[in-house]
Chains A and B, each alone.
Chain A
């Protein structure tokens, strides 16, 4: 037995060693392999996500940074203090919060109502689906133009909305250059209208994926339609609703381009700036050239979105049913 062993070890010693290195090489390779596959994505994420993120962090704490000379006085929280005291930022913060708080629930609610309607009608379903989805494929500027026609006062007309208002006996309001609430109304209206198609699309498919037999079973058991909706339909599509709420919050917090489309580029003058708009202005606007303030504002936005998303996740744990 031992002789045989010794023999084998003696005779095949070289091969055994080479096999061992091969095995080791193989193990190393199989460890590297997944990273190799991930590498392209990691490089891109690193350059365009991770590095800028750290850069923003650094910018935001460099006090008195001068972009021309690339110098700064010191490190500290001054930029944050400045931004949080800047009335333009506070206005942008207020605008953004109003926009988020109004448009996310309203658009999700309306989308749910429309999807329920779409789900229950038999005829012309495809036609209505197409109609509701059209805004999604329509150019933002074209949509902006339409809203101009609807709301803007010109020397020639008061806009379609004002025609309606005066027709029912009200007084015309300037929705684009007029009072704050009117402008906010247009902004919310526009945002809801723009995000609606995607939400309808998601919710209609969510509704269609609910097992028809559950409804049959509920009907046989004499469940009222309200109870069917609250106890079966809503829980069954809750993951999708939750998804829409989270992405809705994030999207609304990042609102900017829609505001430009309606109120023009000088949002501060219109009093309709948003946080992202403020960041942009600090970088490139008339008051531009302040990357440190922009960075601080961006990080404040980041903190807000993170907090809201965490709260959402906490709430969802109890109310969202994944099956």
Chain B
């Protein structure tokens, strides 16, 4: 099911009554989610991700704008008639019911022609439970299960009514690191198997990048960028997106363009033909630093962190107030005891931004 959001906006009255202006949680969202894709809705805490999800789900009504599922306008439909399955951050399992009863709960709500027989219900419940591999635990109560297992029950409960759209609100945030890796693969697998258009909300960029077909980056209620994870990473529209994606994060410098050349402090690092003289904010991805004795950029070496597969260099540069991080291959390791390290920058990994607006300056 294709999902289209049209100028979706949500305002809340300000809790502080002295301030008359509303709080805009979601501001003029317009985007289209293709059928059968897994979408990561990504942004820092409080940026309106969950509000967007709640509006798609029908738990909150938008102030203005429309929501379409395929050709159907669902904006004014109540949550239960939209055919969405939702997995809550806290899982929201009914604590007094067993796994089986929890998963069966949505089916028991069906009325009229949709009503299933007891056998059909049992079969559907078992199918959903098998899908998330909890069919061994059907008679347990949620309190007798681990966080990961509860998560699976929540997903099964959302899947059992065969929703048109599956929504996951921070599905992994209550799991420990190892389980999180495993569960996100699991979510990917289930989504592939069912082919249900899925939106999941997260503030963890790594999580979003690793399993999504597309990511939507939000900041303070505003849609910043939407695209395939790699595209968004390689080609951020603004400084916020560039900073939000990637671990270690992008290094940000104060730079100057003079005579078609880019200067970071005293170092002339790159040719930027066709750009007028101006100050710019320069972002360099950690993998954009190429250690080279003849390199144009000289940095003070602070530390070398060996992480097995590759090595991370922590260095400092006068044009950057915080330590910069570079990821290099182990062969390029600087000599022991070296005080400085020289880099050549890979042009594709260097992005220029307007210092005032943070907008990308394209070459």
Instruction: Assess whether A236 is interfacial by the CB under 8 Å rule.
Output: yes
Q: Is the CB of A220 within 8 A of B143?
A: no
> Which B residues lie within 8 Å of A211 (CB)?
90, 92
Please give me the residue from chain B that is nearest to A228 by CB atom: B109
Q: Is the CB of A219 within 8 A of B59?
A: yes
Please give me the residue from chain B that is nearest to A213 by CB atom: B92
Question: Given A232-B94, A235-B96, A323-B143, is A217 in contact with B109 using a C-beta cutoff of 8 Å?
Answer: no
Q: Which of B76-84, B180-188, B320-328 contacts A (4 or more CB under 8 A)?
A: B76-84
> Which A residues lie within 8 Å of B265 (CB)?
none
Interface class of chain A by DSSP: helix
Instruction: Assess whether A126 is interfacial by the CB under 8 Å rule.
Output: no
Q: Determine the distance from Cα of A216 to Cα of B158 in the docked complex, in whole angstroms.
A: 13
Interface string of A213-224 (1 = CB under 8 A from B): 110111111111
Instruction: Assess whether A20 is interfacial by the CB under 8 Å rule.
Output: no
Q: Determine the distance from Cα of A222 to Cα of B81 in the docked complex, in whole angstroms.
A: 7
Q: Which of A217, A235, A323 has the largest count of B CB atoms less than 10 A from its CB?
A: A217
Q: Of A219, A221, A236, A321, which one neighbours B105 at CB under 8 angstroms? A: A221
Q: Is the CB of A213 within 8 A of B161?
A: no
Question: Given A211-B90, A213-B90, A323-B143, is A219 in contact with B95 using a C-beta cutoff of 8 Å?
Answer: no
Q: Is the CB of A323 within 8 A of B58?
A: no
Q: Is the CB of A220 within 8 A of B59?
A: yes
Q: Is the CB of B86 within 8 A of A220?
A: yes
Q: Determine the distance from Cα of A118 to Cα of B90 in the docked complex, in whole angstroms.
A: 26
Please give me the residue from chain A that is nearest to B160 by CB atom: A221
Question: Given A213-B90, A213-B92, A236-B96, is A222 in contact with B59 using a C-beta cutoff of 8 Å?
Answer: no
Count CB-based A-B contacts (< 8 Å).
58
Instruction: Assess whether B57 is interfacial by the CB under 8 Å rule.
Output: yes
Q: Is the CB of A213 within 8 A of B88?
A: yes
Interface string of B87-129 (1 = CB under 8 A from A): 0111010111000000001101110000000000000000000
Q: Is the CB of A323 within 8 A of B95?
A: yes
Q: Determine the distance from Cα of A214 to Cα of B59 in the docked complex, in whole angstroms.
A: 13
A46 to chain B, nearest CB (A): 40
Q: Determine the distance from Cα of A235 to Cα of B58 in the docked complex, in whole angstroms.
A: 26
12 pairs from A and B in contact (CB 8 Å cutoff) = A211-B92, A214-B94, A216-B59, A219-B79, A219-B80, A223-B80, A223-B109, A232-B94, A236-B95, A236-B96, A321-B96, A323-B143
Q: Could you tell me which B residues sit within 8 Å of A by CB distance?
A: 57-59, 79-81, 84-86, 88-90, 92, 94-96, 105-106, 108-110, 143, 157, 161
